[in-house]
Amino acid sequence: MKNYVVGTKKILKKEQVLISIFLIAILVLSSGSMVAFAKSSTIVVKPTGVDDTANIQNALNSCASPNPPCTVQLTAGTYTISSQIAVTGFQGRFVGMGQGQTIINALGNMPSPTVTPYWAQLPGPSDPWPILFTFVGGSFTMSGMTITDTSPTPTLGWTEPPSNGGASYAALTSAVEVTGLKASASFDHITVVGSAGDYGGYNMGEAIHVEGALLPPGWTDPNADAEMLTGTFSITNSVFTDTTGAAVNFLENSNVVIRGNTISSPDINSFFDGIDVLDISNTNVLVSANQVTPLVGTAVRALQSIYKGGLLPSTITITDNNFIISQGANGANLQDADIGFWGTPSTLTAVVSGNNIQSSGAFGPQWGVSAVATITLKSLLVSLNTISGGGNPGIYILGGPGTVVGNTITGAYTGVWVDYASGVHVAGNVIKNSVEYGVAVTSVNNAGAFWTLTPSSNNYIIGNIVHGTASTGYDLYWDQATNSNNNHWCLNVYHTSSPSVLPGC
């Protein structure tokens, strides 16, 4: 291994002979096969006590294609960056000595983008994106460091395109971004700390953002025309505070793992999504073993085709997480807008299983704050979750189909609400102490003008144990809006229902 800083001892001639004999032996043992020894290098960057931007930028550039992969090693200490860092084709490792040991501190009032939208051209000195670290393409890992930005004005200001509302901000859109057409990136043991600002209440959007954002020649709409990104990505064992945690947007033919992270938002006045997934095509996303604490917003949000049509089937799996939500926050909010916005079939399959979702706060009759909410998905399984404190509703399904099985739901305003849906099975759940309804099947909320849905029919409510519902409500409720003979209720254990006699299976 070649090392630019460490290791000055010269190899003696005798040692060179021994090494040569060793290498020849390896070639012989390989039975004639060719063995390639790739050179690698480590570039050690030490904090200077002043501005470290150029040193870090130059080190990352040294590992960028067509140069061979290498390691950029930051030592313990605090680094200061005064402007954005961007690198195309980085290969290798970008590592510190650990969270809280290697600290990168961003100064405020960094340069602003020169074009609108800023992603209309590649990031660099002539067009600094409002992002601290931007990686275009490449294959790399980033680990063992803390990134902080406490300035309320991280940049000198930039403007969204008119299609995004045309608002102006001084905040960063993210601390770290991966973009381009193809990349492989792994983030592990990264801490990102933001503060108050003008971007949803924060001074940065996402801590780590993986997205296809580059625009092709001849683009007209910077959202609908965005190029998709392909690759393998992971975000693990990290801590994100006062910023949306992790986001993956505009991905195709990709695999994503978001696991073991702690993401929190202590500010009730700031909008926050812990994990955000937008427009994925032929892509699998696993969200597992995270602790997410939003006060306003959503622990995990997945939204399909708000900007694009024609996506290929994709899957998001949300399992073994701990979500602590309040009156203004949702647990998992999953929507497939293909039907509403494009008139094309839904493409998103979701599995929400084995999570612990705790709600706090006074939930009134208003709709919209749920432990799990889904809208017009291609397929859905909600199973074996523990939901306490409820929400209104605890689990909400608009449009169907789906299966809700084996969940324990305590203290929701409505335990499970099936609305304008068909082909939904609600089976084997334990639903306790609901305020209004234990299980409700209705045709009352048609989601405005975006969705034209068929009233609820052919739903099966089977073998649920429902008790403790308030005396003003019902354990089982059906509004009988239309198709009065096509919903089925059987083998449930309950005390009250409306109507008092429900059809069997």
Question: Residue range 260-288: average pLDDT?
Answer: 86
pTM (2 d.p.): 0.90
Give the whole-number percent of the chain exceeding pLDDT 90: 66
Cβ–Cβ < 8 Å for 244, 193? no
If pLDDT is split at 50, 70 and 90, which confidence band does 229 have? very high
Interatomic CA distance for residues 97 and 103, integer angstroms: 9
If pLDDT is split at 50, 70 and 90, which confidence band does 17 have? very low
Say yes or no to pLDDT of 143 above 80.
yes
If pLDDT is split at 50, 70 and 90, which confidence band does 455 have? confident
Say yes or no to pLDDT of 448 above 70.
no
Which pLDDT value is given to residue 31? 34
If pLDDT is split at 50, 70 and 90, which confidence band does 59 have? very high
**DSSP conformational letter for 45:** E
Q: What angle do CA 99, 75, 182 make, to 5 degrees?
A: 70
Which pLDDT value is given to residue 275? 95
Say yes or no to pLDDT of 4 above 70.
no
Which pLDDT value is given to residue 186? 98
Q: Which of 228-232, 270-274, 397-401, 441-445 has the lowest mean pLDDT?
A: 270-274
Q: What is the pLDDT of residues 82-119, one digit of tens each?
A: 999 999 999 999 999 999 999 999 999 999 998 899 99
Return the amino acid letter for 254: S
Distances (CA, A) of 501 to 112, 471, 477: 66, 18, 11
Question: Residue range 284-308: average pLDDT?
Answer: 89
Cβ–Cβ < 8 Å for 487, 452? no
Say yes or no to pLDDT of 352 above 90.
yes
- Residue 81, beta-bridge partner list: 106
Which pLDDT value is given to residue 326? 77
If pLDDT is split at 50, 70 and 90, which confidence band does 390 have? low
Choice between 132 and 400, residue whose per-residue pLDDT is larger: 132
Which pLDDT value is given to residue 152? 94
H-run or E-run covering 394: none
Say yes or no to pLDDT of 307 above 60.
yes
Q: What is the pLDDT of residues 469-503, one digit of tens each?
A: 999 999 999 988 755 568 999 999 999 999 998 98
- Which of 16-30, 118-132, 481-495 shows the highest mean pLDDT? 118-132
Q: Tell me, rounded to whole angstroms, the distance of Cα 134 from its chain centroid.
A: 18
Interatomic CA distance for residues 291 and 300, integer angstroms: 11
Question: Residue range 49-61: average pLDDT?
Answer: 98
**DSSP H helical ranges for 30-153:** 53-62
Phi and psi at 190, nearest 5°, equal -115, 135
Return the amino acid letter for 488: H
Question: Residue range 19-33: average pLDDT?
Answer: 35
- Which of 130-134, 226-230, 261-265 shows the highest mean pLDDT? 130-134
Structure tokens at 236: 């693990």
Say yes or no to pLDDT of 10 above 80.
no
H-run or E-run covering 28: helix 13-29
Q: Which of 28-37, 359-368, 370-379, 381-390 has the lowest mean pLDDT?
A: 28-37
Say yes or no to pLDDT of 372 above 70.
yes
Which pLDDT value is given to residue 234? 98
Say yes or no to pLDDT of 121 above 70.
yes
Cβ–Cβ < 8 Å for 86, 56? no
If pLDDT is split at 50, 70 and 90, which confidence band does 201 have? confident
Say yes or no to pLDDT of 265 above 90.
no
Question: Residue range 187-192: average pLDDT?
Answer: 98
Contacts of 411 (CB under 8 A, 6+ apart): 359, 388, 389, 390, 432, 433, 434, 435
Choice between 11 and 155, residue whose per-residue pLDDT is larger: 155
Say yes or no to pLDDT of 12 above 90.
no
Question: Residue range 308-332: average pLDDT?
Answer: 89
Which pLDDT value is given to residue 447? 56
Question: Residue range 390-406: average pLDDT?
Answer: 89
Mean pLDDT, rounded, of the chain? 86
